[in-house]
Amino acid sequence: MAQVLSTGLEFLDHSNPNGNPCVKGYNIIDGELKQASGGSTFKSINPAWLDDCLGEFPLSGEEDVHEALRAARKAFAGWSTTPAPTRGQIIGNMGRLLMEHKDAIVAIETREIGKTLKESAGSVQEAIDTCLFFQSEGRRLYGQTVNSELPDKELFTYRRPLGVCGIINACNFPAAVPFWKMIPAIMCGNTCVWKSPQDAPLLSFALARIMHESGLPNGVINLVHGKGSGAGQHLVDAVDKGMVDKISFTGSTAVGKMIGEVCGRNLVSASLELGGKNPLVIMPSANMDNAVEGAYWAGFGTAGQRCTSLGNLIIHRDIYDEFMSKLMAKVESTTIGDSLRNEGVLYGPMLSEKYAVDFLKDLGMCETSGATKLYGKGRITNDNKPAGFLGDASEGVYMWPHVYANVTEDMECFHEEIFGPAITVVKANDFDHALYLANASPYGLSSAIYTNDRLEAYRFKTGIKAGMTGINNSTTGAEAHLPFGGVKGSGNGTRESGIWVIEAYSYWHAVNDELSGKLQLAQMDVEEIEIEEAEVDWTSLA
């Protein structure tokens, strides 16, 4: 840990047009700053200003991942026996350090992935809230005392840590999500190897240094950088080698299924938080202006790059025209740009060039499906930009907001997630039809309904197949003390956040403490209680 704390940031000889430094980043393994064993590196680039290099980081290979796993295994013995309240104290320290450095961390997140400052602040605050919540859970890692059916015997249950956890998170919430995973993991006594998102390595590096500064022992959290197909795959492959006791993954459903297969054949626990095609239903009784605001934010906040972003907007036919008129007016007035240089923007660039390429492919799917494009012209350029775009489009990776109407259940774009600023609009005949459509996609992450009919709200929340539901609210996620996760193609039933996540990072240990000094066998040595025959003629009372 000393080297992590005493070594100041190093800067590369690289001239950025905005004057910001280009940092030399490292893996953190057993408390030491390390480059990749093969010497390869990659750069983190600001998607709002492609000439702006944030840093150069190790392109980790199998040897680096295995070294981190060995460090985590070595640290497990000491950390798992550290009293849980002490672990909670260190987690509390992390939260306080995050608060102290919040503005700087928010600026890094906005510069590295293009989120607005307000959204980045929300992501970092979520990490802070997670720390403060789990600080006290260190004093509430409860087991139970259970009465025995035999005399002079005590029964207990305890929560025990799983071991070494592999942590892989996407880059769209690079502060909140890794803390959702690692804070409960280490609170339960596990150790971690964290593969940072390829598009957010500087923020991950900064967060890992804060974790160590909080008093975390060496090896409890180890950070490796690299590609998902490289370091990430090596971390998953290590499950087959017996080096990993848990994988926690946030990302695509296809990759999640692969990870689930690897973990399943090794009987290793997996937490899989995957994609979504989140439905939002608008009913005639809804407050129209509130519903428009909720749908607009759900679809286009974060440039649609949330797993909880709006997918299918399902509108009752009686209010379809009125609602769409108001929604399209907002869409056409959307302000887009770099939040670090422009105020009042709804969203910034795509997370990276890769996400931009994938998004354009998804738009092609909408058009080949036969949906009607109401708005949107692909990538924003200086020759192709909406009225609300601010700045020089050639500097970054920006996309128009897109709206596709006349979408039906038989279209591919009805079922497939579109990761970017685009929504698909579906018309419903009545409430039952709307609920059916909301359940018709293969995903089940988030969902929402706007209605002021209490029975409709009740029937929706009891009939929807989703991990989360908003009533008169958008499809976005939950607070730090509520469970987060999905069903169907959106996950395997595990949850992030709140007390429920503890189940994912611990197992129950039952202890049978025999005090009698002799062998007593449950079910076999239990004294039977004989039934006394009552002197009553029950038939005479009939």
In whole angstroms, give the CA distance from residue 359 to residue 276.
15
In whole angstroms, give the CA distance from residue 491 to residue 488.
6
| 155 and 146 Cβ atoms separated by less than 8 Å | yes
Given 22, 53, 307, 366, which residue is catalytic? Answer: 307
Strand 487-488 versus strand 443-444 pairing type: antiparallel
Q: How many CB atoms lie within 10 A of CB 272?
A: 23
DSSP string, 80-146: HTS-HHHHHHHHHHHHHHHHHTHHHHHHHHHHHH---HHHHHHHHHHHHHHHHHHHHHTT----EEE
In whole angstroms, give the CA distance from residue 163 to residue 535.
62
Q: Distance of CA 8 to CAs 3, 23, 25, 102, 109, Å? A: 9, 11, 11, 19, 20
Q: Distance of CA 169 to CAs 219, 220, 272, 457, Å? A: 19, 18, 10, 33
Q: Indicate the SS3 state at residue 438.
A: helix
Buried-exposed string 56-78: b where 16+ CB fall within 10 A, e elsewhere: bbbbbbbebbbbbbbbbbebbee
CB within 8 A of 477, min separation 6: which ones? 306, 308, 446, 468, 484
Residue 307 falls in the annotated catalytic set = yes
Q: Which sequence positions are flagged as catalytic?
A: 307
